[in-house]
Structure 1
């Protein structure tokens, strides 16, 4: 079942001009238009759905933690049934890889109350079965979290555009609340795990990962995870030989209703 979050931030003022300046989604239909974004790919989840992920090393894909749970069975998806399709476009990928290990952020809470911490730690690293060493697929670097008002962009797949990725090169950071990045970037179901980029110095670096779709003052917004410290923790777990084998949670992998968190936001059904 689809679940939306309607946010009411008491201290956040969003003007229509912040949205009016956003670029439209542009489909990366051809090899030329998608060349710079081949390291973004579709993550197919055992036939039950898909998310978006991005290479940050030849053998590491960054995505959202909740993507690793089956919303129907409430069970973690076996990591060996997840496939990364780098640069997936119109039925073909630039590289296909299975997943050797999956690591969810240690502080990510899959059940219990909805809070900023849940979104903030909605991060996972997938170690691929084999590195992708292809000169046309270059892993992205990461950068510090952007400030309110900064311009960012996003590349994602979604339910209505599952066969071709789309680029929104200009959207805006509306606020940062308790480690959660609130942006005007356009996302939809399937965009979970999509990389949010900064373009300082003309270089695309990942600054956040899409965790959820939301609505604020009648406008669609996206919520992104914190990146720097959570990502370092994930790397440490991998280096220590850890992997995603935790017990399943009884909760679904979507934000639920009626819980007020420490940012002043309220998560409710539409």
Structure 2
């Protein structure tokens, strides 16, 4: 896996130096109701008992996440979207809302086992349509915004290995480089953070500007990789409007005998 990560970095940055990151904030676990207030639209995506990713509502019925979360790491096949559940505001064994997935739209140019490089990172994004919208006054979908400039302060809310039962917030990390439609950020991510929303705070309100695709090491520093969201999201919305994607009309439901996992969750590699 380490070799794979380094190949991504070499492909994107073989000719481009990285900007120095300013001081970043530490991760803060959102354990209490007060801590998590305003972040309930970030949730855990439980993927067919095989692992989990992070996702975020951008409309009452739409979850934004990374495309690679929808593929099996061994077979490379697409995972049945009906076996994916979004747990909005998941914290210490409970969610604010539980929803199954009706339709999944992956960026049309994303190739799960394709050549490693910037193209794969910038296309690593997906929209999940919920069977039923989440209309809860405490779960407010996030707006999206244009790509941040190099050096801009951003933040991330994510679940990950060792912190799968509650989200963690890093309020300040930075955009270190923008290359070929991909962003390199100093945000602290780990396995399970795939699909986590990257926020800007222009105007004091969090707005999603990217999603976590991978983690990597550049010059000894841990970094997060993600798409420059504007154009990929426009393409995904067009795909959704055209009726494309994987979907069905069957109502989502909990299968008899299944259980939601409060701990011991597996993680999907970012």
1:184 is matched with which residue?
186
Change (3 A) 1:254 1:138: closer
Gaps of 5+ in 2: 248-267
Tell me if the contact between 2:81 and 2:102 (Cα under 8 Å) persists in the aligned partners.
Answer: yes
Which one of the candidate residues 32, 43, 49 is aligned to 2:34?
A: 32
Q: Does 1:67 align with 2:69?
A: yes
Tell me if the contact between 2:18 and 2:177 (Cα under 8 Å) persists in the aligned partners.
Answer: no
Which one of the candidate residues 120, 131, 142 is aligned to 1:140?
A: 142
Alignment of 1:94-243 (within 5 A): 94-243=96-245
Which one of the candidate residues 49, 52, 68 is aligned to 2:51?
A: 49
Cα separation, 2, equivalents of 1:71 and 1:119: 16
The Cα shift of 1:160 comes to: 1.2
Give the TM-score normalised by the residue count of structure 1: 0.87
Gaps of 5+ in 1: 246-252, 256-270
1:162 counterpart SS class: strand
Cα separation, 1, equivalents of 2:201 and 2:269: 30
Tell me if the contact between 1:66 and 1:254 (Cα under 8 Å) persists in the aligned partners.
Answer: no
Tell me if the contact between 1:4 and 1:213 (Cα under 8 Å) persists in the aligned partners.
Answer: no
Query: Aligned pairs, how many?
Result: 245
Q: Does 1:13 align with 2:21?
A: no
Cα separation, 2, equivalents of 1:32 and 1:3: 41
Tell me if the contact between 2:76 and 2:112 (Cα under 8 Å) persists in the aligned partners.
Answer: no
Cα separation, 2, equivalents of 1:14 and 1:61: 32
- Deviations 1:151-201, CA, capped at 9 Å, x for gaps: 000000001110010000000100000010100000000000000000011
1:36 counterpart SS class: coil
Cα separation, 2, equivalents of 1:149 and 1:29: 30
Tell me if the contact between 2:111 and 2:120 (Cα under 8 Å) persists in the aligned partners.
Answer: yes
- Deviations 1:69-121, CA, capped at 9 Å, x for gaps: 01123221101000000000001000000000000001112233112111001
Cα separation, 1, equivalents of 2:191 and 2:269: 11
RMSD: 1.7
Tell me if the contact between 1:121 and 1:226 (Cα under 8 Å) persists in the aligned partners.
Answer: no
The Cα shift of 1:3 comes to: 6.6
- Deviations 1:126-155, CA, capped at 9 Å, x for gaps: 000100000000000000000000000000
Change (3 A) 1:110 1:229: same
Tell me if the contact between 2:192 and 2:269 (Cα under 8 Å) persists in the aligned partners.
Answer: no
Cα separation, 2, equivalents of 1:25 and 1:33: 13
Q: Which moved more, 1:222-231 or 1:118-127?
A: 222-231
Change (3 A) 1:78 1:124: same
Give the TM-score normalised by the residue count of structure 2: 0.87
Cα separation, 2, equivalents of 1:2 and 1:29: 32
Cα separation, 2, equivalents of 1:132 and 1:2: 38
Change (3 A) 1:22 1:4: farther
